[in-house]
Structure 1
Amino acid sequence: MKSNKLSTAIVVAIAFLGLTACNALKKMAKRANEVNYSVTPNPLEMHGDTIVMNLKGSFPTKYFHKKVKGVVTPVYKYDGGEEKFEPITLKGESVEGNGVTINYEKGGSFSHVAKIPYKPGMGNGELTLSLEGFFKSKSKVFEPVKVADGAIITPLLVQKQDKAILGKDEFKKTHPVSLFSDIHYVVNTSSPVNGDLGKDDIKKVKAGIKTWSKNERIKITEVYAEAYASPEGELSKNDNLANERAEHATKFWAAELKANKIEAGQNKVGKGEDWNGFKNLMTASDIKDKELILRVLEMYADLEKRELEIKNLAATYKEVADKILPKLRRSEIWVKADSLSRPDEEIASLALSKADTLTAEELLYAAAMTNDLNKKETIYKSFVRVYPNDWRGPNNVGFVHLLNNKVNDAKAEFEKASKITKNGIILNNLGVCERLNGNAKAAMDYYKQASGAGPEVGENMGLVYIMWGDYPNAVSGFGSSQTFNAALAQLLNGNPDGALKTIDGSNDKSTAMGHYLKAVIGARKGDNNMVVENLKSATSKDASLKEKAKKDMEFAKLKNNAEFQAAVN
């Protein structure tokens, strides 16, 4: 009899405990609407390759049973499926183990930061909380709670415009050439030394002028003369003497040009006495005590005193009088001309038929003149053959391969170029290949080594930093560049006004995507008119942007705006 009573008591106790368990969870479920949940940001935002959320919750007093444990799992549901964030465990005061303890009498709160990898299609979806409570051996699934709509995926607007750098030519349509001669003069006069006008350098210049006069690609532009006096005469007289010698020299060669029916300008400069020339000739001479003599002469602050001492020196040292001073009484003359390049048509033709007859700069210029990628590649390959030690050849072949989307072929050429020389241009281009092959970290390593090779390097770095979600460094990388990506980086970094100024200064300001980005900028500035007007412009150029705008959470606040609806429908 006692046994039956005991069994009955146990059954009743078990039933009571089960009822208590169910009641504890049921009471919490009934008051679930008193629990507050919030998520930031809302909508969620994609940065780098992840979506991060910060979930906060607060519980009222006398809600969370001391012996209850709860698990909250944020779940993001989208067209492609669902992705669960890391759950958070909450527990009553009497529950042992890990988790955030919630006080029964006072209530409590929690904060939970978690992330999921971004997947295509996640721009449209919703974040709900899956809630499950546990009391001893019992459990209950609570009604899910929706806490956020969709995700902003604006970083995906980044344009994957990796910028390789071409090895540029230094070709010039004209380059300066000149014929040089000098004329020596009798002391204290502007009369040439006997026989000086018949010496070899004068003859060579005369012959050169005749040859140039018959060459259509050479245009003589000027006779330029600089004249000097030896430093043993009076200072004022030496200045006048130098001017007279310069005048003589220009007239002499102007007459020669006239005889060849050539007109050219004249420019002359009298340099006065040539003290520096004297010092140089003395230093190169075999005169005994030359260093001491020069030191003593340099001590004279009074130039006229120094001139007198040089005159005395000439009387003492025959070499000074006969060999040094006569060389200083001179004019130096340049007959200057512009040498014109071959005509573009000739260069273009020879580049494809007789590449070895062209200079390196002409070949590179020929490649730059054509928009035909096949011809460019042919010319650059000829350049490699004719100028195998110039890195620009393989580098530019690689550049063309990139334009043809042959990334691995391009990389092989850039590696060839790097064996000839290592420079920032080649390192940048190797970085582009790595980025295109999905190796952003390796690309960034190359870009950092390529610093200073050109603005393209910073733009390539900015692109990678946007992909990584590092917007301050992206802005720094773009610097003063005015491009779509530079504007996007500024926007993502919290500077919509700067972004607007940049996109309006770029080549994309009137493109479909340029207007779309300006619409997003307008949304962040709270300027509905700016959003609508730019969406109209964007969709008129690219109708597919209508569907994109409808789903874009940047415009979530305008979903029911009539003007917005008219712009995207």
Structure 2
Amino acid sequence: MKKASYKSIMMLLILMLGIAPALVFGQDAAGSGKSEAKSTFDKHFFLQASGGVSQFFGDLNEKNLFNERMNFFYGLGAGYQFSPVFGIRGVFNNGWVVSTYDPQDLRMSSSLWDAQLHATVSLTNLIFGYKPERFLNVYGFAGGALANFSSILYQNSNELVIDQNGPDADPPFSQDPMKEFVVPAGLGLNFRLAEKWDLNLEYNLRTMFTDELDLVESGKGNDAYSTAMLGVTYKFKPSANLKSMEKNYGLVKYETTPDPLVRVGDTVCVNVKVIFPEKYFAKKAAMNFQPEIKYAGTSKKLKPVNFQGEDVNGDGIVINYKTGGSYTYVDCVPYEPGMNVSDLVVSPTLYEPKEPVSLNATPEEIKGKYKVIDLPERKLADGVIITGSRILHDEDLILADHGYEKETIVSKDATIYFQVNMHNLNWNLPLNRNNQVQQKLDELASFIRMGYAIRDIDINAWASPEGEESFNQGLSERRAQAGKKHLLDMLKKMAKDKKEPFVIENPEETLKFNTYANGEDWNGFMQAVEASNIGDKRIIMNVVNSQPDVTKREQEIRNMSVVYKEIEDDILPPLRRVVIQVNCFEPKKTDEEIANLATSDPSKLDDKELLYAATLTNDNDTKLRIYKTATTQFPNDWRGFNNAAYYELTSNQLGEAASHLNKADQLEPNNKAVVNNLGALASKKEDYKGAAAQYAKAKTLGAEVNYNLGITQLAAGKYDQALSLMGSKKCNTNVGLAQVMTGKYSEAANTLKCAPESAHNYYLMAVAGARNADVKMMIDNLTKAIQGDPSLKAQAAEDREFIKYFSNAEFMSLVK
């Protein structure tokens, strides 16, 4: 063996053992910024192999503790670590120990092996707690051992044998060696190289019970020897076995429902069942699973989840190694344009966690901590079906009523009063004088002179109810005739006056008179009493109402007239009357005149006429122009703004419609027509939540909004509710769409066939055919749809509704 500085080696060992606690403490202090969950420990067997140098301590070198001669020692060991702190091991060591004593020219050489049994203690884990990822650990050990040795004592200069024990000092074994029990103890440094491999630097001192190893006895103590050895340890710990999982990844199955994905409302939901086979998922492994939707050169990542083996700490989804397992992954993301042509894919990541697994840790977080294995990308679903969003925006809109009447009746009346029980006209009667009846009759004459066409004349006559009923009935008839006669006399007098602008010839024959003899005016009596200041009016009214017999009631009134002077003077006289009412047709412009003026000179039309003019044309552009004129000619009338917005919504001029509806809402807040139309505006902008809120408000104001609400439910993917709300509509595109989405394909076909013909409807029928595996229905209707709207060819070519037919010859020739 070559000479070396044994003292330097021993000093290095002492230095390393000395600074080890500081290094360990530094490791733990560096990670003490946050509390960490306790890591799991795996009980395990291990094997060790080591080599190094030995040192003898005895009489021969008591003056020189360190020899300068390096002597090789090697060892093999096996053990079991049954906790993070305590373990047990057995070690076999073999080699030489040598010592020299220059003053007496002596040298001792011993071939030695020992078999040791140790109890081990991890000082680091005992003090700082267990961390599997810790790089450096300090451990101690002690136990018992059996040592076999053969020693020879030489005179160093001439190699003369002075003494020996055992016949042969050549290693590794000698014949009849010396046997001795020794007590081993020591310290070691353990450097973590990998999950199962450690590097060990260990100092082991064996103290003997005799003084025979160096063949020199001084009586000053027993011999001892030590080793400083560098070795490796292999641990039989459960393995993450990531390579095996990577190799067998093809056995993992994915079941995506539905496939293709489906847009429901504004959302695409993903439902993937992940199935792991038996004996696939290693107990110490973890897998990150994060699907993504790839489309149009970009991607949308879904939420991550992490699976973990049985022996891994954390809140991930645990998969059993022996039996395997499954997990249903669910996530929803907002739909984005372009997702209809996409792939749902996943490329899981395998890793070996050194700390508790977090369920929703991202791949980026994992790759920042561990070495990972990226598994191959797998397709989970092909594209997104967007049929549910093919809504026809034919919302029910509400026009404000123009209020124009093609036939308006204007009336004028005059009342003539009579003396009790009389039917002759008495202009000196106080009521006639005080109520200026003659003046009223003159005003009636002036009304007739206007020349309006007279529709009819009503003559209504009454009697006060204190007389006998049959008499009063006849009296009212006579009074009606008196009133009619007076009017006829007035008309005839007018006819004789050549200055009159309007003359009615033969009025009795040319005019229609409606004469009504109403008899006793009980209602008028009760209303007059109710409005009077008579203190006992409630008593009077109760007396009258309590008498079902008319004769007795009349008598009661006569009796009360004596008691209550107000009845005789104020209540009964005004009831003795005849009312003459002339009903005329108000002159109107013809529809043709109104229609022409609306576009040529609208200033000559009033608000009702102008709004009515829009109903006289079938051209929507002309209607819109008229309503816009109304907004400037009558800027404080909400109806023009609302109705202009109606036709702007119809032609999808949403910006202009919004401006006009907001103005209408300012002028007429909480109007059901405006609120409903604001809902339709939101719906056409695909703000279905806003639309539903407006419709709900319009409903409380009295608007019929069920169909419009049905469209919002259709957009939200609530197809049954949509059908319930829109059920009254027949032959309607949106009803047909809801039927397609609920699997009622035959009903949908019938609904769409009778709906107004359109490429849109043919396309929906083609979808119904594809879903129902009716190839002929699909091809026939898709052909008509493309003929009606060529842009549908490109849509059909990538529509996942037809994915099963992408290789069908007829389909391919149709969309290529």
Alignment TM-score, normalising by the size of structure 1: 0.78
Look up the SS of the partner of 2:348 in the other structure: strand
Of 511, 515, 524, 1:277 maps to 524
Change (3 A) 1:237 1:487: farther
1:125 is matched with: 342
Which is worse superposed, 108-117 or 442-451?
Answer: 442-451
Of 287, 291, 295, 1:74 maps to 291
Supply the distance in 2 between the matched residues of 1:540 and 1:526 (Cα, whole angstroms): 22
TM-aligned CA deviation for residue 113 of structure 1: 0.9
1:377 is matched with: 628
Q: Which has the larger radius of gyration?
A: 2
2:412 is matched with: 179
- Does 2:588 align with 1:539? no
- Does 2:276 align with 1:227? no
**Residues 240, 284 of structure 2: 8 Å contact kept:** no
TM-aligned CA deviation for residue 501 of structure 1: 7.2
Which is worse superposed, 495-504 or 28-37?
Answer: 495-504
- Does 2:556 align with 1:339? no
Supply the distance in 1 between the matched residues of 2:379 and 2:527 (Cα, whole angstroms): 91
Q: Deviations over 1:274-320 (max 9, x none)?
A: 12222344556677866655554444332212223434555777775
Output aligned runs, 1:157-236, within 5 Å.
157-160=390-393, 166-184=399-417, 191-195=423-427, 199-212=438-451, 215=452, 219-236=453-470
Of 587, 590, 609, 1:362 maps to 609
Change (3 A) 1:262 1:354: farther
Supply the distance in 2 between the matched residues of 1:561 and 1:406 (Cα, whole angstroms): 41
**Residues 240, 283 of structure 2: 8 Å contact kept:** no
Supply the distance in 1 between the matched residues of 2:414 and 2:641 (Cα, whole angstroms): 43
Structure 2 unmatched runs, 5+: 1-49, 53-71, 79-192, 198-231, 354-369, 492-503
Change (3 A) 1:6 1:366: farther
TM-aligned CA deviation for residue 143 of structure 1: 3.6
Change (3 A) 1:529 1:178: farther
Which is worse superposed, 65-74 or 103-112?
Answer: 65-74
2:384 is matched with: 151
- Does 2:554 align with 1:307? yes
- Does 2:375 align with 1:142? yes
Supply the distance in 1 between the matched residues of 2:383 and 2:233 (Cα, whole angstroms): 45
1:96 is matched with: 313
**Equivalent residues, number:** 556
**Residues 127, 146 of structure 1: 8 Å contact kept:** yes
Output aligned runs, 1:248-267, within 5 Å.
249=483, 256=491, 259-260=506-507, 263-267=510-514
Supply the distance in 1 between the matched residues of 2:383 and 2:535 (Cα, whole angstroms): 94
**Residues 462, 521 of structure 2: 8 Å contact kept:** yes
TM-aligned CA deviation for residue 227 of structure 1: 2.8
Look up the SS of the partner of 2:388 in the other structure: helix
Look up the SS of the partner of 2:457 in the other structure: strand
2:6 is matched with: none
- Alignment root-mean-square deviation, CA: 4.7
**Residues 630, 640 of structure 2: 8 Å contact kept:** no
The code of the aligned residue for 2:554 comes to E
Supply the distance in 2 between the matched residues of 1:156 and 1:181 (Cα, whole angstroms): 67
- Does 2:51 align with 1:2? yes
The code of the aligned residue for 1:53 comes to V
- Does 2:760 align with 1:513? yes
Change (3 A) 1:554 1:453: farther
TM-aligned CA deviation for residue 109 of structure 1: 0.9
Supply the distance in 2 between the matched residues of 1:290 and 1:67 (Cα, whole angstroms): 100
Q: Deviations over 1:429-455 (max 9, x none)?
A: 556666777876666555544444575
TM-aligned CA deviation for residue 328 of structure 1: 2.4
TM-aligned CA deviation for residue 151 of structure 1: 1.3
Change (3 A) 1:269 1:487: farther
Look up the SS of the partner of 1:42 in the other structure: coil
Supply the distance in 2 between the matched residues of 1:333 and 1:531 (Cα, whole angstroms): 75
Supply the distance in 1 between the matched residues of 2:240 and 2:568 (Cα, whole angstroms): 125
Supply the distance in 1 between the matched residues of 2:474 and 2:587 (Cα, whole angstroms): 38
Supply the distance in 2 between the matched residues of 1:511 and 1:86 (Cα, whole angstroms): 41
**Residues 509, 515 of structure 1: 8 Å contact kept:** no
Supply the distance in 2 between the matched residues of 1:28 and 1:368 (Cα, whole angstroms): 76
Structure 1 unmatched runs, 5+: none
TM-aligned CA deviation for residue 93 of structure 1: 1.2
Supply the distance in 1 between the matched residues of 2:234 and 2:348 (Cα, whole angstroms): 23
**Residues 352, 379 of structure 1: 8 Å contact kept:** no
Q: Deviations over 1:393-429 (max 9, x none)?
A: 5555666776787766665555554444422344455
Look up the SS of the partner of 1:2 in the other structure: strand
Supply the distance in 2 between the matched residues of 1:339 and 1:439 (Cα, whole angstroms): 48
Higher strand share: 2
TM-aligned CA deviation for residue 108 of structure 1: 0.8
Supply the distance in 2 between the matched residues of 1:419 and 1:556 (Cα, whole angstroms): 51
1:35 is matched with: 252
TM-aligned CA deviation for residue 101 of structure 1: 1.1
Supply the distance in 1 between the matched residues of 2:768 and 2:517 (Cα, whole angstroms): 65
Q: Deviations over 1:247-281 (max 9, x none)?
A: 66567657856535973444344333112222344
TM-aligned CA deviation for residue 158 of structure 1: 2.3
Supply the distance in 2 between the matched residues of 1:472 and 1:277 (Cα, whole angstroms): 59
Which is worse superposed, 477-486 or 102-111?
Answer: 477-486
Alignment TM-score, normalising by the size of structure 2: 0.57
**Residues 408, 433 of structure 1: 8 Å contact kept:** no
Q: Deviations over 1:87-142 (max 9, x none)?
A: 33222212233421111111111111123442322223332332333357764443
Look up the SS of the partner of 1:133 in the other structure: strand
**Residues 164, 399 of structure 1: 8 Å contact kept:** yes
Look up the SS of the partner of 2:261 in the other structure: strand
Supply the distance in 1 between the matched residues of 2:467 and 2:605 (Cα, whole angstroms): 53
Supply the distance in 2 between the matched residues of 1:287 and 1:141 (Cα, whole angstroms): 102
Supply the distance in 2 between the matched residues of 1:264 and 1:304 (Cα, whole angstroms): 38
Supply the distance in 2 between the matched residues of 1:455 and 1:522 (Cα, whole angstroms): 37
2:273 is matched with: 56
TM-aligned CA deviation for residue 153 of structure 1: 0.8
Change (3 A) 1:171 1:477: same
Supply the distance in 1 between the matched residues of 2:532 and 2:651 (Cα, whole angstroms): 65
Higher helix share: 1
**Residues 45, 152 of structure 1: 8 Å contact kept:** yes
TM-aligned CA deviation for residue 549 of structure 1: 2.8
Which is worse superposed, 22-31 or 102-111?
Answer: 22-31
Change (3 A) 1:274 1:56: same
**Residues 763, 785 of structure 2: 8 Å contact kept:** yes
Look up the SS of the partner of 2:258 in the other structure: strand
The code of the aligned residue for 1:381 comes to T
Supply the distance in 2 between the matched residues of 1:16 and 1:516 (Cα, whole angstroms): 72
Supply the distance in 2 between the matched residues of 1:398 and 1:566 (Cα, whole angstroms): 44
Supply the distance in 2 between the matched residues of 1:258 and 1:494 (Cα, whole angstroms): 76
The code of the aligned residue for 1:148 comes to A
TM-aligned CA deviation for residue 203 of structure 1: 3.5
The code of the aligned residue for 2:521 comes to D
**Residues 488, 508 of structure 2: 8 Å contact kept:** no
**Residues 293, 300 of structure 2: 8 Å contact kept:** yes
